[in-house]
Structure 1
Amino acid sequence: MPVVYALLRGLAANPALPPELLDRLVALADDELAGVLAGRDDLGRTRALALARRVGEAAVSLAYGGRLAAADVEPAEWPEAALALLDRGEAPAAWARAFAVDPDPARRGRLAACPGLPADVTERLARDPVPDVVAELASWAPADTAARLAAHPHLSVRRAVAGNDATPSAVLESLLTGEGLPPARRCRVCAAEGAAAQPVLLPGERCDGDHGSALGHLREALLRHPATPARAAARFADDPAPMVRRAVAGRADLPREACVRLAADTLPMVRTALGENPALDDDLVRSLAGDPDPQMRRAVARHPRVPLDVLVPLARSTALGSALPPRIAAASADETEALASSGEPAARRLVALRRDLPAPVRDRLADDPDAKVAAAVAPHPGLSGARLRAVLVRHGRKVATGVAANPDAPATLLEELARHEPPVRRALREIARHPAATPPALLACLADARSRPLAARHPALPPTVLAALLADADEDVREAAAANPSLPPAAMAKLLPDP
């Protein structure tokens, strides 16, 4: 990205850009700048129209953003913007009728995805000769239309019906079993034979007259649909296709017998999909917690009802990351207290990941002698500056990132962290984003390559430092500095070419 262009992009995003400079940016916008400008809250109707007239493609995002109305848009001039307004439900029905006979199938497809279409438009689109148009309609159509399109001869349309939330359960079951529906006659692969425009096929897509890959994708979609009856889905727990078994394993309504079969699957990806399934009872959860595959054990740790006496050993033996397990998030007050008081550091660390702990529990965990426990609780809101400082003194760089991420970390502590030797780079990135960061702390962050763009955008940076960053060798830093609301208006004006 050229030096000047990075600066212009930053200016286009700067929330403190004066109105007269915003007008100048609109007047020189190209496609990329227009995309940034279209998202500004202070654009207004007059500038939105000017921007759309300069860069027609911007009219779409302006329409979706509510900055252009139907009165501002002529469908013949800005057809994509007109379709955006139809998608928002803010355009006259006459536009929908006109697009329904548009010679461009891509536009008919975008129309088919719009809500609240007139009945005659829906009917016409359902009979469209291009399967992709009908499939787009089938993805969003109401229940009666989706049910009718389930019998469409093209499998792309049936696959779209299978992904529609409004499709009735009985129709989903018929698509899964094939009962009550005529056989499909075409799929993407066989329909492409001899066609002038060949579709881009995905790896593994094939058709030997049996529409094999398309039927497999249809089955997976049906098995993932929560309204597909459980009794029908469970029949596929032993399907030879691994992706089909994985789709079954993720269903929360599986009978226990199907869960038992899937728990014995030879493929880890199938067992992993089953691991966090709420359909598992305690016995199966306990069994799967001993799985040799670490991904499987992590999945069990995410099970919403995993027993705590299973979860804690998992946390001790398996790297679970910093995400809060659902079972810990739902722990009762008594369970929370028991975990926080446990002699097992893994148990204390798990509960320390919560961000809604009672103050006494929070403070006790911050004083924990185990660095992993203290690091987990360090970002918890409400910790005092004195306690955060004590955590840092006790555990050093092991807790520095968590302390820096605490929203209540005082400015003086952030400055001390920023000067830590050797630097804690992840902590510097947190400091560069912290609202309380001071100029001295931010100057230290500028010394780190990954923290530098973040610090360059921080409004606490002094104008003299910002001015130097506008000429930085890193284009991300230049752009961030130009987007900084503390940049003086006079400095902003100098970044723009002469009118």
Structure 2
Amino acid sequence: MHHILCGLAANPALSSELVDRLISIADDGIATDLACRGDLSRAQAVALAERIDESAVQLAYTGRLTAADIDPSVWPDAALALLDQGAGRSEWARSLAADPVRERREKLAACPGLPSEVVDTLAADPDVRVVAELASWTTPAVTARLAAHPHAEVRRAVAGNEATPPAVLAALVTGKGLPAVRRCLVCDREKTPFIHDPQWLRLDCDLPPGASCDGSHESTVHDMREAALRNPATPIEAVVGFVDDPSMLLRWALAARQDLPLQACARLASDSAPGVRAELAENPAIGDALIRALADDRDLDVRRRLAQHPRVPLDVLTRLARTAKIGDTLLPRVAASSPTEVEGLATSRDPAARMLVAQRRNLPPEIRDRLADDPDAKVVKALAPHPGLTEAQLSAMVDRHGVRVLAKVATNPDASPALLEELVRHKPTVQKVFREVARHRGATASALLVCLADKQARPVAASHPALPPPVIVELLTDADWRVGEAAAANPSLPPAVMSYLVCQQ
């Protein structure tokens, strides 16, 4: 019965009186669904928070509870939620900075616009995790101060903060001008030298796999450098030397930088690690010569990532479409194509080129209609969800290409109710069709009844408002609890049934 009540809590047609009743009996699960309702009144939100404390956080984030509704001594986590959105009160921050629960101080440290005295308190917190969280989000002046912190974990956090001044980031990478690091999380907890074996599971240890310290705090210092390399505010001059670093992770981070000089790009393009080359392949910093070289890379992921490059030449992209297993994706270069380029792709003799442009959903009508008659099923499959296609065009696609395009035709927003009924009765069947029709706004009751016979489509169909009310009521007792919950959330469930289900509790 609990899943039925959760479904009812999410039902948009549930009356305000029944919402009140559900609030009075809510547990954590029901409260989660109630808190998501868009029609909760302020009084109902307060009542729900009083019933289930944990829902106060969710209600604060959705704006159902405001500062006027929250007592931080009763709902400290909800107060933190408002502070996180910049909607809390400064006196709350002063109080929470001394909260005995470390996780709350850590959460506070990530909040924007904290009073300076609260920042100072958090910067001196006895738990380094709180200080590190502050360092991840705080202002340039504070990061400049925390860059000299004796704990490596704090410096790692400073290195990842994009507000950190460039000169400070450069100093973190090189170590010049900063006092030596004295502690890290590894030597805080273990006798050094120590290496956390990735295969060694200890319930009392939360160090990341591979964490190590021989007195030089090497794993955290490595992580700090990686964070600085990924930080776009770090001057390229301070990090370009890592192009030949023994650490693959540092080279990988460097390959993502969009300010890389061409010489560094060329070096990384021949890196032995496929992940480094794949990261570089998507980087706007690389030019035409490297794009064409990477198009012949032996690694599939490199070629797939290269297809995402915003300036990949269309002839290269067409070649990649044949070999890189791009999937049903509108690629950035195709999305940005000029009208002339769109016309060229659509009239290409190569089906791969036509398939690429068919993924666009804003094609001129004449191009859309031409591609609808394409002889290649992959092109038609890519085009099938395009809005504006007529019922006759969609039907013709099915007649010519059958099961290869069936599921995509079912996703078309303009597919008529009659066509959807034909799709679910098509022989041979395509299972995905049932799921797509079950969620289609134009699905009829008769089409949905067919969808109910499919195990995967059944929970989706049970939530469709076009389903006949007697069928919805019957589905409440389905053996699959997901189906019952979906039926309970169906706005076409008769109000009398909703009332009976709630009031019998």
After TM superposition, the score normalised by the length of structure 1 is 0.96
Q: Which amino acid aligns with 1:25?
A: L
Structure 2 match to 1:115: 112
Q: Which amino acid aligns with 2:501?
A: L
Deviation per CA, 1:407-432: give whole Å up to 9, x if none. 11111101100111222111221111
Match of 2:99 among 94, 102, 124: 102
SS in 2 for 1:496: helix
SS in 2 for 1:304: coil
Deviation per CA, 1:292-349: give whole Å up to 9, x if none. 1111111111111111111111112231111111111111111110110011111100
The answer to whether 1:130 aligns with 2:130 is no
Moved over 4 A (4+): none
Q: Which amino acid aligns with 1:45?
A: R
Q: Displacement of 1:231 after TM fit?
A: 2.0
Q: Displacement of 1:167 after TM fit?
A: 1.3
Match of 2:335 among 329, 334, 349: 329
Structure 2 match to 1:428: 434
SS in 2 for 1:305: coil
Q: Which amino acid aligns with 1:331?
A: S
Structure 1: give runs of 5+ residues left out of the alignment.
Answer: none
Match of 1:357 among 348, 359, 363: 363
Q: Displacement of 1:41 after TM fit?
A: 1.3
The answer to whether 1:254 aligns with 2:251 is no
Match of 1:139 among 127, 136, 152: 136
Pairing of 1:420-499 with structure 2 (within 5 A): 420-498=426-504
Pairing of 1:196-215 with structure 2 (within 5 A): 199-215=205-221
Match of 1:383 among 378, 389, 394: 389
In 2: Cα distance, 1:270 partner to 1:93 partner: 45
Q: Displacement of 1:496 after TM fit?
A: 2.2
Match of 1:309 among 303, 307, 315: 315
Q: Which amino acid aligns with 1:343?
A: R
Q: Displacement of 1:137 after TM fit?
A: 1.1
Deviation per CA, 1:63-117: give whole Å up to 9, x if none. 2222222232222221111222222223322221111222222221121111111
In 1: Cα distance, 2:178 partner to 2:344 partner: 57
Q: Which amino acid aligns with 1:19?
A: S
SS in 1 for 2:212: coil
Is the 8 Å Cα contact of residues 192 and 198 (structure 1) preserved in structure 2? no
Is the 8 Å Cα contact of residues 355 and 379 (structure 2) preserved in structure 1? yes
Match of 1:28 among 13, 25, 30: 25
Is the 8 Å Cα contact of residues 126 and 137 (structure 1) preserved in structure 2? yes
Q: Which amino acid aligns with 1:116?
A: G
Deviation per CA, 1:417-452: give whole Å up to 9, x if none. 011122211122111111111111111111111111
In 1: Cα distance, 2:219 partner to 2:111 partner: 29
**Stretch deviating more after TM superposition (420-429 or 443-452):** 420-429
In 1: Cα distance, 2:99 partner to 2:322 partner: 62
In 1: Cα distance, 2:421 partner to 2:182 partner: 69
In 2: Cα distance, 1:68 partner to 1:217 partner: 39
Is the 8 Å Cα contact of residues 21 and 503 (structure 2) preserved in structure 1? no
Is the 8 Å Cα contact of residues 6 and 478 (structure 1) preserved in structure 2? yes
Q: Displacement of 1:372 after TM fit?
A: 0.4
**Stretch deviating more after TM superposition (314-323 or 252-261):** 314-323
Match of 1:401 among 393, 407, 411: 407
SS in 2 for 1:373: helix
Structure 2 match to 1:44: 41
Pairing of 1:410-425 with structure 2 (within 5 A): 410-425=416-431
In 1: Cα distance, 2:355 partner to 2:429 partner: 25
Q: Displacement of 1:461 after TM fit?
A: 0.6
Q: Which amino acid aligns with 2:411?
A: A
Q: Displacement of 1:497 after TM fit?
A: 4.8
SS in 2 for 1:320: coil
Q: Displacement of 1:255 after TM fit?
A: 0.6
Is the 8 Å Cα contact of residues 398 and 405 (structure 2) preserved in structure 1? yes
SS in 2 for 1:83: helix
In 2: Cα distance, 1:158 partner to 1:183 partner: 11
Structure 2 match to 1:189: 186
Pairing of 1:330-349 with structure 2 (within 5 A): 330-349=336-355
SS in 1 for 2:213: coil
In 1: Cα distance, 2:27 partner to 2:462 partner: 25
In 1: Cα distance, 2:251 partner to 2:143 partner: 26
Match of 2:157 among 160, 176, 193: 160
In 1: Cα distance, 2:351 partner to 2:68 partner: 64
In 2: Cα distance, 1:129 partner to 1:438 partner: 63
After TM superposition, the score normalised by the length of structure 2 is 0.95
Q: Which amino acid aligns with 2:9?
A: A
**Stretch deviating more after TM superposition (97-106 or 383-392):** 97-106
Q: Which amino acid aligns with 1:208?
A: D
In 1: Cα distance, 2:139 partner to 2:21 partner: 47
In 2: Cα distance, 1:7 partner to 1:422 partner: 35
In 2: Cα distance, 1:493 partner to 1:322 partner: 45
RMSD over aligned Cα atoms:
1.4
Deviation per CA, 1:463-491: give whole Å up to 9, x if none. 01101111111111111110011111111
Q: Which amino acid aligns with 1:30?
A: D
Q: Which amino acid aligns with 1:448?
A: D
In 2: Cα distance, 1:266 partner to 1:137 partner: 37
Match of 1:86 among 83, 86, 89: 83
Structure 2: give runs of 5+ residues left out of the alignment.
Answer: 192-202
Seen in structure 2, the aligned counterparts of structure 1 residues 199 and 80 have a Cα distance that, compared at 3 Å, is farther
Match of 2:50 among 53, 62, 67: 53
Q: Which amino acid aligns with 1:29?
A: A
Deviation per CA, 1:159-209: give whole Å up to 9, x if none. 211222211211111111111111211111111238xx9650111111111
In 2: Cα distance, 1:382 partner to 1:117 partner: 51
